[in-house]
Amino acid sequence: MTIPPKQIVIAGGGTAGWIAAAALARKMGPLVNIRLVESSTIGTIGVGEATIPPLRTFHKLLQIDEQAFMRATAATFKLGIRFENWGRIGEQYIHSFGMTGQQSWLAEFVHFYLSAKARGLEGDYGDYCFELEAARQHKFATSTQSNIQYAYHLDAGNYVAFLKRFCSNLGVTHCDGVISQVLQHDNGDIKALRLASGELIEGDFFIDCTGFKGLLIEETLHTGYEDWSHWLLCDSACAVQTTSTEPVAPFTRSAAHHAGWQWEIPLQHRTGNGNVYSSAFMDDNEASEQLMQNVKGEAITTPRTLRFKTGRRNKAWHRNCLALGLASGFVEPLESTSIHLVIMGITRFMQLFPHGGNYQALTDEYNQQTQLELERIRDFIILHYHVTQRDDSPFWEHCKNMTVPDSLQTRIALFKEQAHAFQKQNELFRVDSWAQVMLGQGVTPDYHHPAAAMLSDAQLNQSMQQQRQRVLQAVAQLPAHEDFIRRYCATPQKA
């Protein structure tokens, strides 16, 4: 059966717009005609350079070649995030993408680790995670045999250019112009976008990727915004790119300071840096000065201040409009989840793709799933701020003492009481993620599952030693991250 293709108009050509175009064009080609409108005068946000492992699954789905992608975006590999000064000043831990320790059906590894600790074990939870140890030693390799869990650091501008080239071979029509008006049908649905040039772009369905302002979803359809800034106080960032000064690390650095935190994202050709802060506790000048004092290389761009409001659009899909990327909301960059949420959003939309004229139930389902996904990520991010031992500034006092969502309070209580963490159905962050952050920031469980008590001291000790040795031996086989990238990204020789 042949059905006429839906006319899809994507407003905005940042990472969100081009990811949406690439996914729709590659996976639903005959069912859609895609037109993307962007404005080179307005430009893109230019940040968003740290990712998480599901990006690899997305690239595989689109049949994107990893080496070509890495060369085009000057990407490096990412095994996790190193959090410095979050629990206490001077302390650090890594939240890695890997599994920690041997799995058991009865109780997670964390319970065995805590039992061993109580019996005098030295070292920390991260010692039993291959990816985490590789990150510590700045080592990395992929191979068809290894199941190493990783993501990338990428140059945001180059990634947009890469996706644009990818889409040009898939029939996506592209136009550069400023959208000056959004026209609606009598029933309120969006009818067309008028450009400043006078050109009219009509469509059946519109995807709003216009960034924070949400030109269609908010400025036209007024769907409203649920503000989370009482839990996530940071509302500003100052970003600067610098030269690289040392071998590239296979992790993002996140160093907390008295009113927020600073990121360091190593790429092949430069480093991305940013100071994320609460404007109620730090002014823009101080933020910019502090950033420039802390960066390691020479600045190659002028520091830029960005504002954001954490929260989510009440309805990411409303009428014939879907919002993706910053237009749909923003949690905050701490765990690099925004690009992932764009991918989840467009994937979910393709799975619920409307066929008939009335699709209210599909819309409701999409919005409900999206809300749940975002709230779980939100809770995980709030956790980093809330479970701190820091008391050196009003910002941290506030974070430590604030009332957090009940859903998070329950999770903290479960971990505190008996070291339980759960990955709920379809939840992004795993048991290990929750455990790494809680233990890393000084949450000490009162008890753990008694399963480990069935092992004698000698048995438990032997098991822990064997697991540690396996991690160390596996990491010893890996080359330095930098050497691996150099070989992996070398331009292929012509035959």
Binding of residue 209 to ligand FAD (CB under 6 A): yes
* Interface of this chain with ligand FAD, residues 230 to 269, rule: CB under 6 A: 237
> Which of 125, 366 has the CB closer to ligand FAD?
366
> Which of 115, 254 has the CB closer to ligand FAD?
254
> Which of 72, 443 has the CB closer to ligand FAD?
72
Contact of 460 with 112, CB cutoff 8 Å: yes
d(CA 485, CA 481): 6
Binds ligand FAD by CB under 6 A, chosen from 28, 62, 178, 372:
178
> Which of 124, 289 has the CB closer to ligand FAD?
289
> Which of 199, 392 has the CB closer to ligand FAD?
199
Burial of 223 per CB tally in 10 Å (0-12, 13-18, 19+): buried
Binding of residue 42 to ligand FAD (CB under 6 A): yes
d(CA 56, CA 46): 21
Contact of 225 with 309, CB cutoff 8 Å: yes
The residue assigned the tokens 């467009």 is: 346
Binds ligand FAD by CB under 6 A, chosen from 8, 9, 20, 39:
39
CB of 12 to ligand FAD, least distance (A): 3
Binding of residue 464 to ligand FAD (CB under 6 A): no
> Which of 46, 101 has the CB closer to ligand FAD?
46
Binds ligand FAD by CB under 6 A, chosen from 85, 242, 268, 336:
336
Contact of 279 with 309, CB cutoff 8 Å: no
In degrees and rounded to multiples of 5, residue 97 shows phi and psi of -85, -5
* Interface of this chain with ligand FAD, residues 288 to 317, rule: CB under 6 A: 306, 308
Q: Which stretch binds ligand FAD (CB under 6 A): 113-121, 207-215, 217-225, 444-452?
A: 207-215
Q: How many CA atoms lie within 13 A of 424 on its CB side?
A: 11
CB of 46 to ligand FAD, least distance (A): 7
Collapsing DSSP to helix, strand or coil, 340 comes out as helix
In degrees and rounded to multiples of 5, residue 60 shows phi and psi of -65, -40
| Strand ranges, E, within 295-362 | 304-307, 311-313, 317-318, 321-323, 329-330
Burial of 302 per CB tally in 10 Å (0-12, 13-18, 19+): exposed
Q: Which stretch binds ligand FAD (CB under 6 A): 61-69, 205-213, 448-456, 470-478?
A: 205-213
Cα-based distances in Å from 105 to 46, 335, 353 = 44, 28, 38
Binding of residue 345 to ligand FAD (CB under 6 A): no
Q: Which chain residues interact with ligand FAD by CB under 6 A?
A: 12-17, 37-39, 42-45, 47-51, 178-179, 209-211, 215, 237, 274, 306, 308, 325-327, 333, 336, 338-339
